[in-house]
Homo-oligomer: A and B are copies of this chain.
Amino acid sequence: MSDNKLERMREKTVKSTEIFRGKVLHIYNDEVELPNGKHSFREIIRHCHAAAVLAINDKGEVILEDQYRYPYDDIITEIPAGKGDEREDAIVTAARELEEETGYRAGKMEELGLFYPSVGYTDESIHLFLARDLTYVGQHLDDGEELDYYFVPFDELCNMIKEGKIKDGKTIAAVGYYLLKYKK
């Protein structure tokens, strides 16, 4: 993006106020100066980076997980994913989470692209990867973590999205990237 456009549209931070520092979420209510000189407030979440993995085996099947997600009070179907450690590269996070959650180690990992979940109020970015050459080495979930995983053919995953059975953003975006980069 051209620097001129950024300079023209940029909102300057007048005062940043921390509202909450939790285990997962760091929340700020920042006073900003808009390009027109007026002041406003931006409620934002500072979040660690995360990674997610579209893992495909030699039969063309993808690993999906069913996991209880408290905000929706529902079981959500999604690809393996997790939060990164500050000192950890995204590809390391992705490989680690895939192995912890499903027991599969990937022989090949390629970056699909970045995913910004909700640009209005969080700075979170999820790095999406394609994992192949899968070998089972054993699952080791975090304490209290519970999920079911299973393989579905890629076309079945596409149907699950079309039929509204999958609504998870990073999963749909990973499929979108995969279709654009490998199928189009």
Give residues in A with beta carbon < 8 Å to B: 1, 5-6, 9-11, 19-20, 22-25, 27, 29-30, 32, 34-36, 38, 40-46, 66-78, 113-125, 144, 146, 148, 158, 161-162, 164, 167-170, 172-173, 175-177, 179-181, 184
When distances are taken between beta carbons in the complex, the residues of chain B under 8 Å from A120 are 24, 69, 71
Determine whether the beta carbon of B25 is less than 8 Å from that of A118. Answer: no
Determine whether the beta carbon of B22 is less than 8 Å from that of A146. Answer: no
From the candidates B24, B30, B38, B78, name the one contacting A43 in the complex (CB within 8 A). B24
From the candidates B5, B34, B35, B121, name the one contacting A148 in the complex (CB within 8 A). B5
* Chain copies in the assembled complex: 2
Interface of A is mostly: mixed
**Contacts A71-B119, A179-B179 supplied; 16 other A-B pairs, CB < 8 Å:** A5-B75, A19-B22, A20-B29, A22-B43, A24-B121, A25-B45, A30-B70, A34-B146, A69-B120, A72-B116, A113-B167, A116-B167, A118-B124, A162-B180, A169-B173, A172-B176
When distances are taken between beta carbons in the complex, the residues of chain B under 8 Å from A19 are 19-20, 22, 27
CA distance in complex: A70, B11 (Å): 7
Determine whether the beta carbon of B9 is less than 8 Å from that of A169. Answer: no
Determine whether the beta carbon of A117 is less than 8 Å from that of B117. Answer: yes
When distances are taken between beta carbons in the complex, the residues of chain B under 8 Å from A9 are 66-68, 75, 146
CA distance in complex: A28, B146 (Å): 22
Determine whether the beta carbon of B1 is less than 8 Å from that of A169. Answer: no
| Known pairs A24-B120, A27-B27, A43-B23; A161 contacts B113 (CB<8 A) | yes
